[in-house]
Chain A
Amino acid sequence: MQKFKTIKSIPAYLSIVNIDTDMIIPKQFLKTIKRTGLGKNLFYEMRYNEKGNPIEDFILNTKPFNKSKILIAGKNFGCGSSREHAPWALLDFGITCVISSSYADIFYNNCFKNGILPIILPDTKIKELSDYSKRKEEITVNLEEQKITYGNNETTFEIDQFKKKCLLEGLDDIALSLEKNPKISEFEKKLVANKPWILND
């Protein structure tokens, strides 16, 4: 997994609330057996018309936001299905940081498995940042310091310290869990003794 340290980018603001994973990546693109290549279909139905041509006033189709690495969005971002294709599509487009006032749980977790930082800020700060995004100026997100810098302002954000460590170091959590192999085996031994039907049937 790619490490996440600091990024600098002009943020794009999508004012819609409850953006679901069907909007982020519609189902016709879930037929892939790969993780890559989904960026061109990110927000497909908002981004392209029925003939497949780009809708000009959609934010990610307009310069300079078509190169944004940071997406600011309305609350409850990523609700709906568990499809990891949603963070894969964001990542493939180049977005490695999302800023919203809240996220759906599964999407939030999926971000961390893919080196994407989902930042939670209060509504007032979202308003401030989204207003700032109209200036088309770069902002900086520093994970180590848990700080966003925009112009002469800065704001801090909270994050789970273990998740932060995994992002900063790009850790593979399967490898980490496999280190606990003896504990898992011990657990399974007890399972055979106490709940034999779990492994038997």
Chain B
Amino acid sequence: MSKTLYDKIWDEHLVHEQDDGTSLLYVDRHLVHEVTSPQAFEGLRNSKRQVRQPNLTLAVADHNVPTSDRSKGIADVESKLQVETLEKNCKEFGIKLFGMNDKRQGIVHIIGPEQGFTQPGSIIVCGDSHTATHGAFGSLAFGIGTSEVEHVLATQTLVQKKSKNFRIKVDGELSIGVTSKDVILQIIGKIGTAGGTGYVIEYAGSLISSLSVEQRMTICNMTIEGGARAGLIEPDQKIFDYLKDRPMSPKKDDWNKALDYWSKLKSDNEAKFDKEITLEGKDIMPMVTWGTSPQDVISIDEKIPNPESETDEDRKNSIERSLKYMGLKPGTAIKDVKIDKVFIGSCTNGRIEDLRDAAKIIRNKKVAQHVYAMVVPGSGLVKQQAEQEGLDKVFKESGFDWREPGCSMCLAMNSDKLKPEERCASTSNRNFEGRQGRGGRTHLVSPGMAAAAAISGSLDDVRKYQS
């Protein structure tokens, strides 16, 4: 019987299946961070259980770490305790940890691929919904809760029921100034924030194959914003080249065996998908969100929608609530919306190519006087690479703040946050109420669009600044 890539990875990891389909799956790679793990380790201690395969788990502190000078440690007492608890737990249970001052430290979804920990055909989980990122490598990667983190630590398996298959094909080419961030925002706008609930999404089509590895990660990363726990892409030569010689990639003989296995990972031609949609590259424009859900998205040329023209009562109420929170009026051109802050970073857009994209726009230009703009590299290694290329100077000369790596203002758990009613052009993934700080107003955009907004002082079209 023909199978999808998801079906194949599922079958390969099946340890046991009950009659009702409830399955026990083997987990190849487990990532851990400080926020969703303390209660899991506590659970192990309370029930006197061990970690089954400590080598298959990699830990890093990212959510709580300061992005300013770290030599003084963490000022916030609770954040400090959480990071120290992770250190203590990793030591006790023999788990590898990249400490706060390790240059490999960074956002968990940036360092997995960077280290070669993320591999095609594997099942990768983490107590974090943006684990979907790793699907860019043709792995089945999804977020789990803390009880499940404990389950993985104790058994190296997870209890799951199978999802349905959803294929999203994107064909053609991207226009200048349009990125994979715009592709995924357009997809979420089209299917809605619950459009993928109950499904695993496979992204396919000529445009998807033409994307770089890092661009693919941006797409898979935001799969969860469309409701699907996992999104994946068939691995190809670009993926294999990316992984070759990474510190945790297979070595010597194992590399050849792995490559042989990875090369066969694809959906069969006749495989059946329960749901399918197709998009054309030429129809995708630079996108920006106007509301408080990632599905509230329009292209930069459009106007903010009017709730009165909605027939669905729930949708109408939800638009009204969003506009009130965002302090916006229906019919306003989104380009006329003035901003206060710019955030470039996060597991969605904190990689080297994202920084290059933004630097290209900002070079020899200045951040608007009323705007505070910051760049937070996704990891210590991304920061190092950017500095080698002189990108830090480009950003600093234009007036950007150049920070230390971490999750930062994507979710504002550290001290990087918006004040009430402050408006931000952000390369992160969620524009939820209060996400970047209580009362803060988030507009999700690509790195180039964030740079354009920094220069103009209002949301703007990146294509204006393309040379």
Decide whether A and B are members of one complex: yes
Report which A residues bind B (CB closer than 8 A).
15-18, 20, 22-23, 26-28, 30-35, 45, 50, 74-76, 79-84, 87, 102-106, 109-110, 113-114, 160-162, 173-174, 176-178, 180, 183-184, 187-188, 191, 195-201
**Residues of A with C-beta under 8 A to B249:** 201
B221: Cβ under 8 A from any A Cβ: no
Chain A-chain B contacts (Cβ-Cβ < 8 Å), number = 192
A192 to B128 alpha-carbon distance, docked (Å): 28
User: Does B353 make an interface contact (CB < 8 A)?
Assistant: no
How far apart sit A196 and B198, CA to CA, in the bound complex (Å)? 32
Tell me the smallest distance from the CB of B295 to a CB of chain A, in Å: 8
B167 interface residue (CB < 8 Å to A): no
Q: A residues within 8 A CB of B189? A: none
Which residue of A has the minimal Cβ distance to B295?
A18
Q: Are A102 and B129 in contact (CB under 8 A)?
A: no
In the complex, the chain B residue whose C-beta lies closest to that of A175 is B47
Among B76, B78, B228, the one with the most A-chain Cβ atoms within 10 Å of its Cβ is B78
Indicate if the CB atoms of B148 and A109 lie closer than 8 Å.
Answer: yes
In the bound complex, how far is the Cα of B229 from the Cα of A28, in angstroms? 24
**Residues of B145-175 whose CB lies within 8 A of A:** 145-148, 150-151, 154-157, 159, 161, 163
Main secondary structure on chain B at its contact with chain A?
loop
Contact across chains for B255 and A75 when beta carbons are under 8 A apart? no
Query: Which residues on the A side are within 8 Å of B38 (C-beta)?
Result: 33-34
Residues of B in contact with A, size category: 35 or more
Binding site for A on B (CB under 8 A): 15-16, 18, 20, 22, 24, 26, 28, 35-36, 38-39, 42-43, 47, 49, 52-53, 55-56, 63-64, 76, 78-79, 81-82, 85, 119, 122, 127-129, 131, 143-148, 150-151, 154-157, 159, 161, 163, 193-194, 197-198, 224, 227-229, 248-251, 254-255, 257-258, 261, 293, 314, 317-318, 321, 411-413, 420, 430, 432-435, 438-439
Contact sample, A vs B, 29 pairs, CB 8 Å cutoff: A17-B314, A17-B318, A20-B432, A22-B433, A22-B434, A22-B435, A27-B411, A33-B81, A74-B314, A76-B197, A81-B128, A83-B35, A104-B194, A105-B163, A105-B198, A110-B145, A113-B145, A161-B20, A173-B147, A174-B43, A174-B150, A177-B24, A178-B154, A184-B157, A187-B15, A187-B26, A199-B56, A201-B250, A201-B251
Q: Are B159 and A177 in contact (CB under 8 A)?
A: yes
> Is the pair A197, B151 in contact by a Cβ cutoff of 8 Å?
no
A75 touches B229 (CB 8 A): no
